[in-house]
């Protein structure tokens, strides 16, 4: 199942409720939580996630670019994140953190930055519901897509195939009409798009357009 998760990092922060209504046809609303430590940018935290949960027409996909996710990630599940992704580079006990997220009722995921190899963490696939392969350096929206991350997506897809089970593979960064096909062909099935959606006059149409393009590249 191919899914579109528009990133509200590219939305109008003064009007988040109306911005969410623009993407009501998407599968998820991707919420970038940045702490100014793990990444240089500072965005939103738990109170905003709780507020978004009250008004969002679609489930929240929380991407935690923060230090100490072992402590904080389960709280984002409790605050209303239907999926909570932590960075493997920041976690000290990723197995316990993934299990705590799931225990709080959310889907658990871990993310790898462009410079982080996937192989050392392949066994963790059995503990999560999704793996996020970053296709830009985390921290800012509007960056250029890194096509050199596609072999890593394929590597994750192969690990998922070997282990069996239903684990999604998400890509985040520079995903647009011109890059989504490569992501599908490499093995991704959840696509985070920020400026490509919210920069469009009709965000809803753009979500549908990206989904159609993804389907055109999907393996039968």
Strand ranges of the sheet holding 60-65, from the earlier edge strand across to the other edge: 3-6, 190-193, 168-172, 130-134, 107-112, 81-87, 60-65, 29-34
In sequence order, the 6+-apart residues with CB closer than 8 A to the CB of 102 are: 108, 129
121 vs 132: CA distance, rounded Å = 12
Catalytic residue among 27, 129, 172, 189: 172
Task: Give the closest residue to 111 by CA, choosing from 63, 74, 146.
Answer: 63
Is 123 an active-site residue? no
Under a CB-based contact definition with an 8 Å cutoff, are residues 17 and 5 in contact?
no
What's CA 40's distance to the chain center, in Å? 19
Is 129 an active-site residue? no
Under a CB-based contact definition with an 8 Å cutoff, are residues 109 and 132 in contact?
yes
Catalytic residue among 32, 35, 129, 189: 32
110 vs 200: CA distance, rounded Å = 29
Residues with a catalytic annotation lie at 32, 172
């Amino acid at each position: 199942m191919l899914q579109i998760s528009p990133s509200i990092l590219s939305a109008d922060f003064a009007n988040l409720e109306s911005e969410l209504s623009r993407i009501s046809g998407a599968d998820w609303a991707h919420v970038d939580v940045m702490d100014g430590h793990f990444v240089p940018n500072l965005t939103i935290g738990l109170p905003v996630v709780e507020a978004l949960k009250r008004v969002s027409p679609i489930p929240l996909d929380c991407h935690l670019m923060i230090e100490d996710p072992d402590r904080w990630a389960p709280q984002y599940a409790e605050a209303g994140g239907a999926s909570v992704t932590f960075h493997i580079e920041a976690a000290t006990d990723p197995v316990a953190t993934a299990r705590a997220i799931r225990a709080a009722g959310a889907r658990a995921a871990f993310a790898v930055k462009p410079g982080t190899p996937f192989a050392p963490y392949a066994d963790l696939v059995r503990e999560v519901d999704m793996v996020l392969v970053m296709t830009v350096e985390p921290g800012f929206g509007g960056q250029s897509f890194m096509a050199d991350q596609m072999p890593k997506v394929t590597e994750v897809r192969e690990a998922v195939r070997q282990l069996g089970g239903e684990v999604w593979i998400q890509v985040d960064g520079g995903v647009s009409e011109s890059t989504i096909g490569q992501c599908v062909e490499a093995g991704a099935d959840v696509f985070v798009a920020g400026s490509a959606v919210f920069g469009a006059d009709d965000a809803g149409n753009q979500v549908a357009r990206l989904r159609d393009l993804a389907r055109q590249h999907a393996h039968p």
